[in-house]
Amino acid sequence: MAHCDDRSGWRLDRRISVSAIVSGVTCCAVVIGLIASLEVRLEGLEAQSVLLRDEMREARKTVLRVERIDERMTLMQRLLEEIRTDLRQRSERP
């Protein structure tokens, strides 16, 4: 492109070939297509991250439940051990 000396503004220079123009337009179309595909991929990743975040929340809840169950089991084992000890002591008494 070259600027004209007259008041008509910009004009296309004849030294630029049609193949160069087509090549430039094609490159622009490819770039636009790549950007669009990247946006689609990004949306997919965002959706997956939301699902993973929800799964992590559920996993944390499950971990807390398991920890509570483990604490209860530990207490029950201590109580059972005390009961065993009491039973042994009673059986050893004449």
Question: In terms of pLDDT, which residue wins out, 93 or 66?
Answer: 66
Half-sphere exposure for 57 (CA within 13 Å, toward CB): 6
Distance, CA of 81 to CA of 56 (rounded, Å): 37
pLDDT (tens digit per residue) in 7-48: 566 666 667 788 888 999 999 999 999 999 999 999 999 999
Return the domain boundaries, the chain: 17-92
pLDDT (tens digit per residue) in 49-65: 999 999 999 999 999 99
AA identity, residue 17:
S
Q: For the whole model, what pTM was predicted?
A: 0.48
Distance, CA of 38 to CA of 92 (rounded, Å): 79
